[in-house]
Structure 1
Amino acid sequence: MDRREIAGLLAYMGRLDPRTMRTDKNELRDQVDQWHELLGDVPLATDYGWDARDAIRAHVVASPYPILPVDVARKWTKHSADRLARHTDPTPAADPDDVLAWRAELLGTRHAVAQGQRPPNEQRAITSGGPDPKVEARLRAIGSVIPPAVRADLSRFRPTRAAREAAAVEGRPDPLAVRCEWCHAPAGEPCHTRRIGLDGGARGNARRATPHPSRLDLAAAALHSQESAA
């Protein structure tokens, strides 16, 4: 903003908040100098979402304190940073072998976005449409997003999951489908070693490689109930 724009902005601010008005010429001149010193590189308004008058109006509505030039400067800095955060650099038209021209075009685009001279180049994710037909055909062929050979290789690193998958394939009860009444492990979690101390409290919290027998019985009973209901 130049001094003329600063003077107009101060007049607008004085209408909204009379406490900021200066009637003495010397005080007014000092006020213009102060605001120009801090807002000389801040635009009065841009074509893409910034207007210093909006910042002043919002401050007057939200705060009981008179607005200071640093308040406007901080709002502009945040506005500029938000725009850059939403910006994705487009591919420059310059020859990529000309490093200086390529870099200059990138920096020029970013500067224009930050100064509100052009809108951010936003790349939005695809939010509609189904998967590629080739992907669907592949999933139907292998029956899973993880091929059987890869799943077999991973089984040694995921013994609990592998055991649950094998039980489901073979039609055996899945002990992790129910809560363990012995160690109180919730459904989906493996059993824990439970030792009782002299004071009657539980001791130990190590995971067991196999579920407690009582949990197997509960899982078998739950599976039988499901089969009977079906």
Structure 2
Amino acid sequence: MDRREVAAALACIGHLDPRTIRTSTGEARDQLAQWQELLDDVPFATDHGWDVREAIRAHVLDSPYPILPVDVARRWRTHRRDHLDRHTDPTPTADPDDPAAWRAELLRARNAVASGEAAPSTHRQIASGGRPSDIEERLRGIGSCIPPAARAELAHYRPTRAAGEAAIDRGIPDALSVRCEWCHAPVGTPCRQRRKNPDGAARGSAVRATPHPSRVDLAAARTDRRRPA
């Protein structure tokens, strides 16, 4: 900030907190010189979220102590650090075979963000939102977000899920869509073996490759009830 901007900031402070007002001409001149020296690299306002008047107002609301120039400088450094942390260094337009020009363009972009002259450049995948326009067409073409080749490779590692998908392809209801009344496996979880000791206590919990027949029957019955008459 230049001398005129510092004077405007001090006038704003005096309006919000009369304790900071200096009535003596000499004290006012010294205060102005001190603030200008400490806030020389702090902008008065930028187009990207910084305004020294808002920083002053926030301090007056948050703190019972009179504001000092270091309080403003610290708020500016926090604001600048936040913008730099969100900046993702977009690919320079300079020739990649010219390291000096490439580095200079990166530094110019970072300095512009640090000084408040430019907004941080975020990833387009995060900032734009929404899915690519052709995603629906691609999903219709392959039928699933998992390509058939990848699904075939995964079948060896998740046989129960693969068996359920194969049943659906054959028009048989997915047994995992209902809770098993025999082993009490919840929806989406494969059935387990239920064995009992002679005293009646349960033992064994091995995962079954196929669901219990009663679970298959229950899934089929629920599917039939949902079909229109």
In which range does the TM-score fall when normalised by the shorter chain?
A: 0.7 to 0.9
Answering whether residue 164 of structure 2 is matched by residue 164 of structure 1, we say: yes
Deviation at 1:67, TM superposition (A): 3.0
Q: TM-score, normalised by structure 1?
A: 0.73
Q: Which residue of 1 aligns with 2:134?
A: 131
Measured against aligned partners, the alpha-carbon deviations of 1:72-121 in whole angstroms (never above 9, x if no partner) come to: 22332232234334545454454433312321221022101210223444
Cα 1:145–1:50 shift into 2, 3 Å? closer
Answering whether residue 179 of structure 2 is matched by residue 179 of structure 1, we say: yes
C-alpha distance in 2 between matches for 1:173 and 1:81:
56
Answering whether residue 94 of structure 2 is matched by residue 105 of structure 1, we say: no
C-alpha distance in 2 between matches for 1:203 and 1:25:
91
Q: Which residue of 1 aligns with 2:188?
A: 188
Q: Which residue of 2 aligns with 1:117?
A: 117
Measured against aligned partners, the alpha-carbon deviations of 1:195-227 in whole angstroms (never above 9, x if no partner) come to: 789xx9977766443334442332233234345
Cα 1:196–1:82 shift into 2, 3 Å? farther
C-alpha distance in 2 between matches for 1:214 and 1:52:
71
C-alpha distance in 1 between matches for 2:130 and 2:220:
43
Cα 1:66–1:219 shift into 2, 3 Å? same
Q: Unpaired segments of 5 or more residues in structure 1? A: none
C-alpha distance in 2 between matches for 1:77 and 1:162:
55
Deviation at 1:170, TM superposition (A): 2.2
* Aligned residues of 2:193 and 2:206 also touching (Cα < 8 A): yes
User: Once the two structures are aligned, what percentage of the paired residues are identical?
Assistant: 62
Cα 1:53–1:167 shift into 2, 3 Å? same
C-alpha distance in 1 between matches for 2:131 and 2:2:
47
Q: Which residue of 2 aligns with 1:41?
A: 41
Number of residue pairs matched?
226
Q: Unpaired segments of 5 or more residues in structure 2? A: none
Deviation at 1:177, TM superposition (A): 1.2
C-alpha distance in 1 between matches for 2:213 and 2:131:
48
C-alpha distance in 1 between matches for 2:218 and 2:156:
27
Deviation at 1:176, TM superposition (A): 0.8
Deviation at 1:56, TM superposition (A): 0.9
C-alpha distance in 1 between matches for 2:172 and 2:131:
40
C-alpha distance in 2 between matches for 1:195 and 1:62:
66
53-62 vs 20-29, which deviates more?
20-29
143-152 vs 68-77, which deviates more?
143-152
* Aligned residues of 1:56 and 1:67 also touching (Cα < 8 A): yes
Deviation at 1:31, TM superposition (A): 4.6
* Aligned residues of 2:163 and 2:210 also touching (Cα < 8 A): no
SS in 2 for 1:19: helix
C-alpha distance in 1 between matches for 2:64 and 2:56:
12
- Provide the aligned C-alpha RMSD in A: 3.9
C-alpha distance in 1 between matches for 2:140 and 2:174:
26
Q: Which residue of 1 aligns with 2:19?
A: 19
Deviation at 1:155, TM superposition (A): 1.2
* Aligned residues of 1:139 and 1:145 also touching (Cα < 8 A): no
182-191 vs 33-42, which deviates more?
33-42
